[in-house]
Amino acid sequence: MSLAARQRELVARHLLAHPEEIPIYLKERRWEQLAALVEFAAKDAPLGLVHTDPALYRLLRQQIAEFRIRGWSCLSLEVLQQLASHSGAGREPRGQAGASCRI
């Protein structure tokens, strides 16, 4: 199942607001949702919000900073995307699932 762009943004914003759920997503192997989070955080808060919704922009910047401070920026977008693409086939790429924070 592939997430639409809006769904990806909503999942990422939810996980930024609730970072305590990130380990649960890892345990449940919800690779596509985690990839959405890592991609959103890597792009930072949308600059268009500076003028349209400055409070939301500041909140997202704060949440992304906390995401990075907690060490979750070590998650690899490429590995998560690979895991997501293989999870539909019912298998994981060899050597990737147990990698320490290279997921």
CA distances (Å), 66 to each of 19, 46, 48, 63, in order?
9, 17, 21, 5
pTM over 0.85: no
Q: What integer pLDDT is reported at residue 90 of this predicted model? A: 47
- Token pair, residue 26, equals 């890892």
Q: What length does the chain have?
A: 103
Q: pLDDT of 57-91, one tens digit each?
A: 999 999 999 999 999 999 999 999 999 998 765 44
Q: Please write the tens of the pLDDT for every residue from 2-59.
A: 789 999 999 999 999 999 999 999 999 999 999 999 999 999 999 999 999 999 999 9
Give the pLDDT of residue 3. Answer: 86
Model pLDDT, residue 1:
60
